[in-house]
Each structure stands twice: as structure tokens, then as C-alpha cells.
Structure 1
Amino acid sequence: MPRIHFLAMAILLLAFAVPAVADDRPNFIIFIADDVSWNDFGCYGSETARTPNIDALAAGGMKFTNAYLTASSCSPSRCSIITGRYPHNNGAASELHRPLPEHLVKFPKLLKEAGYYTALAGKDHMPQDNADEDAVWDDKRGTKVPGNSGGEGHWVDVVQKRPKDKPFFFWFAATDAHRGWDADQQWQKDNYGPKHNPDEVKVSPYMRNEPATRDDLTSYHNEITRFDYYIGQVCEELKAQGAFDNTLMIVMADNGRPFPRGKTRVHDSGMKTPFVVSWPNGIKDAGEACDKLVSVIDICPTFLSLAGVNVPEQAQGVSFAKLLEEPGSRSQRNYAFSEHNWHDYEAHGRAVRTGPGMLYVRNARPEKAWLGPADSVSSPSHKDIVKAKDDLTAAQADVLLAPRPAEELYDTSKDPLQTNNLVGNQKYAKHLAEMRQVMDQWQKETGDSVPEDYTIDFYDRVTGYIDSKTGKRIKGDRPYGDYPGQQHDADKINASGPK
């Protein structure tokens, strides 16, 4: 055999004999809770929740204290994260349960095309017209396993069975802590510890400190603890595989808690999200807290840029990768914008926040209360507020307030509950003028609009699910109307507005 042929054959045999090794690009995991407010983890000051695994990630990583959702509503929020776009720039997906247009790309697809192994396990809730999910996910699992319908049951198995020669992106989405409270019936004391005690639950200022409300909150915190347990299990598996240090993990939520003044609201109680980031190979100072503004649409460009993948023009966010290395460095974001569109009830609310702590709210449907979703309106916690409607604090009364102001302005550093509306206060006239201008610019440049043929209420506003006149649940097709931005074809607009 000629020598050159022998060498070629030897090289070929060596290639097959040596196992492939994953490249050194970071792995990514998003742990996303369902309906959990920013301050309901121990590391964010909760006096009730037991979240030792999340707290450990914060202690060894970085905790962001000014991270905001673009929508406090399940599917609009998730669709916004996965495309890196504002809800009204996602077409019909700006409203609950409605699909993304076919032409928009879910960013894990770009990671997959670049050699990443991608998997979704748990809650999806990101529908798309003519979706080709196989182009996005190598593996896709549901929410239930025997003894656990909380959405976490497949997580460890996905990590164990991943190909070890590829970097990975995992979207691990719980259904905890969405109402239904199935964790109470599926509780595993050996894994989760004792259930929370209603007598020890800390009640939010937006709610009444009544037995039914404390019981309601207890079940909610049980689900948070179950979510935390499975995060810990994934971390242990990654450490066993030697993959933990090079895995960038984010622990967050899709919207605020499903209680009064939480889910769907544009105020911090609905729109602010916990945002714990772990990445030992990339975070310089473990245990740091970063107070710079971050929007969840920033996840897309951050992950893609760190993976060496071109960020598509559709992405409206900015990378926060620099903050992981230097949390005190200058932020690329000066404003964070949020929306409240139809979610069970008609709505069109907009909000913008600044780093110094100003919040401006614009409400195009001020005649009706911002009650929250139907499952909150039908909850014991909401009923406790209704029963005491003549004896409520300002924070509690805001839940039922109708009509609402068309504009609101808050100095959140001095008014964390956001109950003192500063519109009309001359000391804040310059702030109000600036925020109005910024909001006008953002709505114009991104193609936002207030539909005239809007989506109307689907549920009763008194009982939540039951029609107060007939005693029956409202039935029929979902009453979808035009969605915000439709008249401007906002789903084709990539401009981000002010950042």
C-alpha cells in the first residue's frame, strides 16, 4: 500500500476512534416559572417561600433587581421572549392564546442551525401559524409525569439523554405556580420538605390578611418550592456531567402571581420578574446584584451573541452580556417598555420605566378596572377584597378601581407599592413630559395602535368565570377582535424605539 494511502486511512480510523468533544461555546437553560412575582423567591426577600436552590444560584451567580417583562400574560410574554420582540410586534400573539405569525423566528431555531441541541420540556404556550416545531426543537416533552403535573418531570431526563458532543439550549418551563394548586395533592415530603404553614405566610399589601387568602397563598408557595426542587436536581445532574460551570442559566417567570394586583398588571407587582443568572465561567464576581435595567427581549440577542450566532433584524432587544462580566458597567438600556393587552378582559395598557426609578403608565381603556385574569377574580383572595370593599387600604382598593386614570406616574424608589400617582404634581412635571415623549416615540416607531374593533371581555367581571346574571359560565367562541399594531402591520416592523 502506498504510504500516502496508509496515512489517510490511519487519520480516518483515528477520527472514528476518538469520541467527539463538545465545543466550548456556553450552554443555555431558561427555567421559567408560571405566574410567580419577582419577590416570591427567598433571594429577593420573600419571608415565606423556601427556594434554597434558586438562592444558591443567586449566591454563586448574579441577581438582577430591575428586570422586566414585556407582558404580564402567559403566551404573549413567552412569545415575546422567544422572538426577542415586543408583544404588539408579534402580531396576534400580543393577546392571550393567539399565534405568532409564520414569518417570525423563534431564536432556539437559530441555535439549532448553529449546532446546538435544543429541547423544550414543560409548558409551551408559544403557538405559531404553520409551525415547524421540528426545526426549532430536537426534543420536546410535555408537562406531566406520574405524580407530578407541575411541568418539571422531564427536565433531568432531558439533561441525562442529551448528546454530549453538542452545546445545548433548554427551555424548562413549569406550570408551577399556575392556579389549580396540584402540588398540594402531589406533595412529596421527602423531596420538598414540609408544606408551608398558613399561619406563617406573609400577605402582600395588595391583599387582605384573612384565613382564605392565607390558605390560597400557602398553596401558591408550595408550588414555588416544587419548582425550586427540580432546578436543584438539574444543577446536580449538570455538575455530575461536568457541564455546570459552562452553562448559563436564567431563573425567571412569565408574569406576576395570579392574585389581586399581580398577573396582567403593568405595575411592578405584575411586570417585574425575578432574574437570577448562573454561569461560573462567565460571571466574574459571584453573588453580585445588578440594578441595571433589563428587558426579557434582551435574552435573545444575549444568548445568540454569546453563541457566535448572528442576531436577526427582528430582535428588538439589546445584549446584557457585558453586565455579567461587569455588573457596574454602563447599561445598554435606558428604558424598559411593557404592555397589557387582552387577557380574559379587554385592555390596552402601556408602561415605560427608567433606570432612576420612574414608571409611567398609559391606559387607553380607563373606564374599566384592571382586575387581573379570570382565575384571580374567582379566587378566595379576590373575594376577600370584594367582601371588604368599604374597608380597604389604598393598595387593596386599587384592585377594584374604576374608572382608572388615563395616565399614572410613580417614583418607585419612594413609592414601591405604586399607589401615589404623581400626574398633576408640579415637582414631577418635567419627568411626566419626558415619559410622555418617550412613550409617544416608542408607540410610533414600533407601530403600536389602539384597536377600535377590540377584543371584548370573555369572562364575568364579578365572579371571574360565572355569568352573574345567568349563573352559568360564559360560553361560545373566543371574542377576538383586532389586535394592537394590526393597522400598522407592526409584525413587519423591526424598529425598537428608544432603548
Structure 2
Amino acid sequence: MKQLFILISLYLFFYSAVHAQKEKLNILVFIADDVSSDDLGCYGNTQVKTPNIDQLAKDGLKFDNFYLTASSCSPSRNSIITGRYPHNTGAAELHTTPPLDMISFPELLRKKNYYSVLAGKFHMGPYAKRGFDKLYEGHKNNGDGGEESWVASLQDRPKNKPFFMWYASYDAHREWGPNKFSGAHRPDEMEPPFYLSNGPGTKSDLAKYYDEIKRFDFYIGEVVKELKAQKELDNTLIIIMSDNGRPFPHSKTRVNDRGMKTPFVMYWRKGIKNKGLTSKSLVSAVDIAPTLLTLAGINYPDQFQGHSFHKLIANPDQTFRNYIFAEHNWHDYEAHERMVRNKDYMYILNSRPMKPQNGPADAVGSPSFKELETLKDKGELSAIQADVFLVPRPHEELFDYKRDPLQLLNVASVPEYGEPLKDLRKVLKEWMIETGDNIPENLTKDWYLKEAGLIKTEFHNIRGEMPGEKLNATKNNVKGIF
């Protein structure tokens, strides 16, 4: 009897431990590369085909005002997983990395017994690797779009641990090669946005871009099927987002909505009771890390500058943030812009007004940019199309969301907007001071000739001073105005 009692006790202990682990929330983040907020069906795009994402949004929660901190790949990704603004990570510029002592939220999940996987694009630096038990890196493991190891990584995980999966596609980053999804979108059916040309080159460019988004959507559907097969879907929080805007002129690297606003869909069958709703609240990418750690029941250090928005899951209509902050630093070309947005206005400070905002080098080399250049040479550009060539640019810009939700008309010089201009100018200045941001004189210069694609300059591979570097911003944990 004594032996039987011991066996039963051991069994109950083991069963309880496994059951407790299975009940801990699983977390899965799908992060696309270079996809704007309005390039998914659930956000009103009638041209792109994203049925799997659209269904998750219908059964989950969608955010309409979710902002990144940078419209540039590595600064944005590092900001997301550290919960810090780009200048506070020490990696404010493209292709730079935070110090090794930087902490990521996957590292804290892993320390609390989460099995953690990164599959697809990495682009964050050595410190971030501590956060993952296993990494599926490179096209050899992940395929052309970065998604082919996603299902396999779910199947190969230990079944007695909760899991965190960071599924990072290469889709829809340029260049776009042929794949099994090519032709899913026909160029002759494309209607380019008003700030691009309506020519055949742009239409073909856009169709290929949408084909890659469809591939991203397809593999999300395959992962959902696998979660269902493993009976893990109910207890898994799924997030779908992007790292920055589409790789077209007027979008990627810009601090307006076309560059900084990300699609953000949350699906969690057990946790989201009111399905199919949309939150209009302002949320920042620095808020993701605190939110996921809070939902996982994990305390986190002061390093995280964001705030948990977990209460929006139950009450998406409530106000969360009063202000959103974002920045644009070097990405192929010299730059220093800061943006603050409240519910009514967006204010932009441009410290390099003599630099045109053509977009990143890959967008400058695109068919879409070439067609804008052709219109320019003919004198046929509209005012908004011409914006990418404008020099000098305004040092300050102010946009009224109630009258101008697309940020087309700069009202910074209009007398009736004097008060909101003054207020947001003050808010941005305070945020920069509090968080240790600055405007170095010796910023990294252009690595490529403007309007010439990938033709290198004499400054290629030479770095200047990083914003926040002299102020030791990597040690500054101030959250700033909220």
C-alpha cells in the first residue's frame, strides 16, 4: 500500500506539473518585413489576398493606431524586443547592434521555463540570441520567404513547456523573385496609391509585393492548422505585425503613418472575449514587451520603457497612451527626424531639412521610383508625388488628423494651429531630454548617391556619432511622457 501511495503521489505531482505548464500562456509573434498597416485585407485593402490574417482579425482584436518607433528594420526590431526607443538601445541606425548587456523580453521568458524559438529573419545582434533556445536562421533553413521552418519548429518543440515563437519572414522585403505565389495578383488589376505613379512598372511592382504578402499569409494559416492539430490554439496568443512600412517611395523610413503605423492583430481564443473589435487607442511598439511579460506573469526590470496594454484586451475602447514617439535615423542616407503624435495631431521635427526623403536605397532603385522620376522630368508630378524630391524640406511639420488623416497638408505655419504646434514641440523636446536623445553634428553620412539606387559614396561604411551616444542613452531607463 505504501508503494502504491508513493506511485500515485508521483503520478499526481507529474500530471499537475505538466498540466500547469500546458496552462501557461503560449505566445507567437508573426512579424512581416516591410509591410504597411493598410496592406492587409482586414485593414480595408481590397486588392491584397490575406484570408488567414483576415480570419484571425475577425476572431480576435485589431488595432488601428499601433505605431512602431522606427521605420527601419533593425532599429525597429531591437526596439520591439527590448521595449526601448531606438536611441536607448544603442542601435538607432540600420545595421547596428545594442550592447551585449541589453536584455530582451524573450530572454526573460526563457528564464521562466518558456521554450523559445526564432525562425526566419534575425537582424538584431548577438545579445538577442540569449533569448532563444533554438534559431532557424538563413534562407537555407527558412526558404526564400523565411517561413518554411515555422511548422517544423512547432512540431519539434518539447511538449512539457510553454513556448514563445518569433516567426520573422523575409516577406515582403525586396528583391522579389518568382515563387509559387507569383501571379496571385495581376498587375492590370492593381490600383497604386495616389502618391505613386499609375504606370505599368508601379503596377507590376505592387503586384509582386502583394504576392509576397500572400505567401506570408499562407504560412500563418499553416501554423494555425498545426496549433489546432496539437490542441494548443486555444491557449496561444498570436500577434501579427510588421517592422516598418512598405518598401516604396513615401513609406519605408518615413515617420508618418505610411512608414510608422503597423498592422497589429491579436488572436487569443481564451483571452479575447469580445471578438472582431477594433481598438483606436494609441499604442507603441515599446509597449509590446511589457504587455507580453505581464500576460505571462513575469516581472520585468526598469529597462523596459513601455507600458503594458493588457487591459485593452478586455476593454479596447479605453484610452491607453496620450502620446506616441518615433524616430528616423540613418538608413542608407543621413537623417535625423523625430515624431510625436497625440489623438488629434502629428508633429515632426526634421533636423536635416536639406536632405530629400527619397526613401531607402532599395526603394530608390525600384520601378516605382523610376516612374516617379519620369513624371518629374515631364513636369507631371502631383504635389504629394513630388514630396519625395522636395528640398529644402520643412524643419517642422504639423498635421491635423480630424481634417487630414493622410497627413497631406502641413499646417505648421497656419496661425490657427499655433497652440497645438507649441504644445507638441514642447512635449517632443521634453521627451528627448528625458530619454537622453540628441542631435549629433557628425551624423552618419549618405552611403549611396541620392536618387541613384546603390551607387556608393566616399562615405560608404563610415559611421558617425549615434544619437544618444554622448548622453549614455543605453543606461537611461526613463519612460518619458506617456
Which interval holds the TM-score relative to the shorter structure? over 0.9
Check 1:474–1:27 CA distance in 2 against 1; reply closer, same or farther (3 A cut): same
Q: Does 1:353 align with 2:341?
A: yes
1:490 aligned partner: 473
Check 1:108–1:352 CA distance in 2 against 1; reply closer, same or farther (3 A cut): same
1:230 aligned partner: 219
Distance, in Å, in 1 between the alignment partners of 2:145 and 2:23 is 33
User: CA offset at residue 479 of structure 1?
Assistant: 1.4
What secondary structure sits across from 2:164 in the alignment?
A: strand
Contact 2:397 2:411 in 1 (8 A): yes
User: CA offset at residue 146 of structure 1?
Assistant: 8.1
Q: Does 1:163 align with 2:151?
A: no
2:289 equivalent among 291, 300, 317: 300
Residue deviations 1:355-384 (CA, integer Å, cap 9, x gap)? 2x3100000101111111000011111111
1:139 aligned partner: 134
Distance, in Å, in 2 between the alignment partners of 1:334 and 1:266 is 18
Contact 1:465 1:474 in 2 (8 A): no
User: CA offset at residue 302 of structure 1?
Assistant: 0.3
2:325 aligned partner: 337
Distance, in Å, in 2 between the alignment partners of 1:245 and 1:371 is 45
What secondary structure sits across from 2:23 in the alignment?
A: coil
User: CA offset at residue 9 of structure 1?
Assistant: 5.5
User: CA offset at residue 158 of structure 1?
Assistant: 1.0
What secondary structure sits across from 1:251 in the alignment?
A: strand
What secondary structure sits across from 1:399 in the alignment?
A: helix
What secondary structure sits across from 1:442 in the alignment?
A: helix
Distance, in Å, in 1 between the alignment partners of 2:124 and 2:8 is 49
Superposition map of 1:196-215 within 5 A:
196-215=185-204
Contact 2:448 2:460 in 1 (8 A): no
Distance, in Å, in 1 between the alignment partners of 2:307 and 2:17 is 37
Distance, in Å, in 2 between the alignment partners of 1:480 and 1:427 is 42
2:463 aligned partner: 480
User: CA offset at residue 144 of structure 1?
Assistant: 2.5
User: CA offset at residue 147 of structure 1?
Assistant: 9.5
1:243 aligned partner: 232
Distance, in Å, in 2 between the alignment partners of 1:210 and 1:150 is 27
User: CA offset at residue 386 of structure 1?
Assistant: 1.2
User: CA offset at residue 12 of structure 1?
Assistant: 3.8
Contact 1:395 1:417 in 2 (8 A): no
Q: Return 50-59 or 155-164, whichever deviates more.
A: 155-164
Distance, in Å, in 1 between the alignment partners of 2:416 and 2:334 is 34
TM superposition score normalised by structure 2: 0.96
What secondary structure sits across from 1:413 in the alignment?
A: coil
User: CA offset at residue 247 of structure 1?
Assistant: 1.0
How many residue pairs end up in the alignment? 479
Q: Does 1:378 align with 2:365?
A: yes
Distance, in Å, in 2 between the alignment partners of 1:224 and 1:440 is 38
TM superposition score normalised by structure 1: 0.92
Q: Return 117-126 or 418-427, whichever deviates more.
A: 418-427
What secondary structure sits across from 1:388 in the alignment?
A: helix
What secondary structure sits across from 1:351 in the alignment?
A: strand
Distance, in Å, in 2 between the alignment partners of 1:103 and 1:123 is 22
Paired AA for residue 105 in structure 2: F
Contact 2:119 2:142 in 1 (8 A): no
Distance, in Å, in 2 between the alignment partners of 1:132 and 1:459 is 29
Contact 1:148 1:186 in 2 (8 A): no
Superposition map of 1:416-427 within 5 A:
416-427=405-416
Distance, in Å, in 2 between the alignment partners of 1:160 and 1:488 is 46
Q: Which runs of 5+ in 1 are unaligned?
A: 467-472
1:287 aligned partner: 276
Distance, in Å, in 2 between the alignment partners of 1:94 and 1:146 is 29
Seq. identity, %: 49
User: CA offset at residue 188 of structure 1?
Assistant: 4.9
Q: Which runs of 5+ in 2 are unaligned?
A: none
Superposition map of 1:304-343 within 5 A:
304-331=293-320, 333-343=321-331
Distance, in Å, in 2 between the alignment partners of 1:476 and 1:429 is 40
Distance, in Å, in 2 between the alignment partners of 1:6 and 1:284 is 44
User: CA offset at residue 407 of structure 1?
Assistant: 0.2
Distance, in Å, in 1 between the alignment partners of 2:254 and 2:181 is 33
Distance, in Å, in 2 between the alignment partners of 1:198 and 1:81 is 34
Paired AA for residue 356 in structure 2: A
Check 1:240–1:451 CA distance in 2 against 1; reply closer, same or farther (3 A cut): same
1:95 aligned partner: 93
